Structure 1
Amino acid sequence: MTGRGAVGWTLVRVVFGLTLALGHGLGKVTGDMSGFAEGVAKLGFPAPMFFAWCAALAEFLGGLAVALGLLTRPAALFAGFTMLVALFRHRADPFGRMELSILFLTVMVATLLIGGGPFSLDALLRRKKA
């Protein structure tokens, strides 16, 4: 991937990663997790507080890692799985409630397939190693 495609992919990766991290994950990891854990419990997860923290960290740290392009594919895997669960959680809601989960899931799957691209910390580390 070179040229405009690389710049375009970097823009998508950074905007979606930061939006997931700062718009959705940050509030969870810095706030009261009890309400979020109740929602996780309603989904039938054992140890709902533990899984609520896993989801919150996948959104926050995973989003930051995707934005930076650092450990991009593993970060996208965790964040994408969290978005799949969020989509399941909102399956009976109006489309507007599901829409964000669908968009984030789609970008995380694309990130799994494409990786961070040439303008990522992963690529920088690969170049330095070679």
Structure 2
Amino acid sequence: MVGRSALGWTLVRVVFGLTLALGHGMSKVRGDMSQFAQGVAALGFPFPLFFAWCASLAEFLGGLLVAVGLFTRPAAAFAGFTMLVALFRHRADPFGRMELSLLYLTVMVAVVLAGAGPWSLDARVRRKA
């Protein structure tokens, strides 16, 4: 991946990572987790507060890591799994409610498959090793 395609992939990775982290994860991490944990419990998860924190951190920390391209594939895998659960949660909702989950899931799967690209901290660490 060189030139414009590297720039395009970096743009997708940064924008989706930051919007997931700042638009969705940060409000959960900084807010009252009890309401989100109730939603997690309604999905049938055991230890709903624990899994609510896992999902929130996958969105926030995972999104930040994807954006900067550090530990990118594992971060995208955790964030992608969280989006798969969100997609399941919204499966009976109108398409507009499930659309964001589907978009984030698709990009996170693509990141797992393609990696962070040459303009990432992962690539920088590999070059120094």
TM class by shorter-chain length?
over 0.9
- Structural mapping, 1:57-72, within 5 Å: 57-72=57-72
Q: Identify the residue that residue 25 of structure 1 maps to in structure 2.
A: 25
Moved over 4 A (4+): none
Once the two structures are TM-superposed, the CA of residue 94 in structure 1 deviates from its matched residue by 0.5
CA distance in 1, matches of 2:9, 2:116: 8
Once the two structures are TM-superposed, the CA of residue 14 in structure 1 deviates from its matched residue by 0.0
Q: Identify the residue that residue 11 of structure 2 maps to in structure 1.
A: 11
Deviation per CA, 1:75-123, whole angstroms, max 9, x where unpaired? 0000000000000000000100000000000000000011000000000
**Identical amino acids, percent of aligned pairs:** 80
Structure 2 spans left out of the alignment, 5+ residues: none
Normalising by the residue count of structure 1, what TM-score does the alignment of the two structures yield?
0.99
**How many residues in Structure 1 have an aligned counterpart in Structure 2?**
129
CA distance in 2, matches of 1:25, 1:40: 15
Residue 79 (structure 2) pairs with residue 79 (structure 1): yes
Structure 1 spans left out of the alignment, 5+ residues: none
CA distance in 1, matches of 2:38, 2:93: 18
Once the two structures are TM-superposed, the CA of residue 30 in structure 1 deviates from its matched residue by 0.3
- Structural mapping, 1:74-113, within 5 Å: 74-113=74-113
